[in-house]
Amino acid sequence: MVLNLISYFSLFLTVFYGLAIIYFRYGWDRIVAPSKRRGSARTFVSILIAARNEEDKIALTIEDILNQDYPQELSELIVVDDHSTDRTAEIIAGYADRGVKLLRLNENEPLNSYKKKAITEAIKLAKGELLITTDADCRMNSRWLSTIVSFFETHDCKLISSPVVFFEEKSFFERLQTLEFLYLIGLGAATIGNKKPSTCNGANLAYRKDVFEELKGFQGIDELASGDDELFLHKVASKYPHNIGFCKSYDALVFTHAKPNMSEFIRQRKRWASKSTRYKDKKIVALGVSIWLFNVLVVLNAVLAFFYPSSLAVVLVLLISKGLAELYFLIPVTGFVKRRELLLYLPLLTCIHAIYIIYIGIAGNTGKYMWKGRLVK
């Protein structure tokens, strides 16, 4: 009797998961690629970076930003050094003659959200109508800034999410991460396409300065270490639900690196998952819990199959349905970033992803974790 109930509930959630993915694909398809700019630029932009111990990558990021095809007189770059213990601040200071502004955090009392503090301090100094945040280890092509600003000037957006992708993978593990990360980026874009924004990435995020000030910045979410991106997205969406955009352009892409080992990967994903406890939209929470339960049932049925052979058929139905649904969604997403070869890893990712989702769903919402050499919660 119990086994039958588990099987029926598993099949029910399989149908639910499939329909949810179809809905996400619909949201992705609804997003139209932005048209080319017409006329000259008119928006002053402040690009903001919070950096901590990034001496090996920060110069490349700064060079990419300084080499944008956007008018230099309409942009500024502000980099905040977050108590780095390496040469990060020294490298940033070396660009002062090219207009790069360096701020140094000097907090005597420990904070739980140094990044939000860094961004807030940068915004106080920023002159831009439009603020764009990225990370100190990111790369972008020369049309990145002009593409995002063109989208801003042609749409009535208060906040713009733009795509992020991993590149320069050095291992099988990193390529798996790239595919999984594209799934997350695609889901974030899809929810924006469906006018129900749920997630974005602070490595490529833009919003109006007056909106940040109107909503009192990170007030109310500033005690959480993470959340400078999607929790702020939720704040904006609660006030301006129809003024959130996704810049679906390859030129708007920001490139960054996957984590080189499992421990760093887990720490990163625990940090991301920790934000979910602060979601105020109960529909997003319910969807997340349902997807988590679906993955629990995938693993539960796999365990039961060792004792009850009849559960094996249920496991196969769940995994095949899960894989086909994810393939349906990822075909256009991987095509958009010109990485469709990554779909070869999907069968394996479909299986191990279920275990990963269960663990991160629990670990990310309990206890503390290390990030950038600090213990946070």
- Please indicate, yes or no, whether residues 20 and 107 belong to a single structural domain of this protein: no
- Please indicate, yes or no, whether residues 340 and 245 belong to a single structural domain of this protein: no
Q: What is the pLDDT of residue 374?
A: 62
- Domain endpoint, select from 258, 278, 298: 278
- Please indicate, yes or no, whether residues 351 and 270 belong to a single structural domain of this protein: no
Helix pair angle (346-363, 310-336), 10° resolution = 100
Can you give the pTM of this predicted structure? 0.93
- Please indicate, yes or no, whether residues 56 and 105 belong to a single structural domain of this protein: yes
- Please indicate, yes or no, whether residues 76 and 103 belong to a single structural domain of this protein: yes
- Please indicate, yes or no, whether residues 17 and 41 belong to a single structural domain of this protein: no
CA distance 195 to 237: 9
CATH at 235: 3.90.550.10
- Please indicate, yes or no, whether residues 234 and 316 belong to a single structural domain of this protein: no
CA distance 117 to 243: 26
CB 26 within 8 A of CB 191: no
Q: What is the pLDDT of residue 141?
A: 97
Q: What is the pLDDT of residue 130?
A: 98
Q: What is the pLDDT of residue 367?
A: 61
Q: What are phi and psi of 370, to 5 degrees?
A: -90, 135
- Please indicate, yes or no, whether residues 372 and 300 belong to a single structural domain of this protein: yes
- Domain endpoint, select from 225, 247, 278: 278
Cα distances (Å, whole numbers) of residue 299 to 230, 286, 353: 29, 20, 10
Considering its fold, how many domains does the chain have in total?
A: 2
C-alpha atoms less than 13 angstroms from C-alpha of 43 in its C-beta half-sphere? 22
Q: Rg (Cα) of the chain, in Å, rounded? A: 21
Q: What are phi and psi of 301, to 5 degrees?
A: -65, -30
- Please indicate, yes or no, whether residues 236 and 320 belong to a single structural domain of this protein: no
- Please indicate, yes or no, whether residues 187 and 209 belong to a single structural domain of this protein: yes
Q: What is the pLDDT of residue 361?
A: 85
Q: Which tokens is 230 given?
A: 């999607």
Q: What is the pLDDT of residue 40?
A: 80
CB 65 within 8 A of CB 137: no
- Please indicate, yes or no, whether residues 207 and 298 belong to a single structural domain of this protein: no
DSSP SS3 for 260 = coil
- Domain endpoint, select from 228, 263, 278: 278
Q: Quote the Cα angle for 360-361-367, to 5°.
A: 75
Q: Which domain holds residue 329?
A: 2-27+282-376
- Please indicate, yes or no, whether residues 356 and 209 belong to a single structural domain of this protein: no
Instruction: Name the strand (E) or helix (H) holding 283.
Output: helix 282-304
CA distance 139 to 166: 10
CA distance 99 to 306: 64
Q: What is the pLDDT of residue 373?
A: 64
Per-block average pLDDT, block size 10, for the chain (377 residues)? 84 94 97 80 95 96 97 97 94 97 82 84 96 97 96 94 97 97 97 95 97 94 79 94 96 97 90 76 86 93 89 92 97 98 97 91 72 62
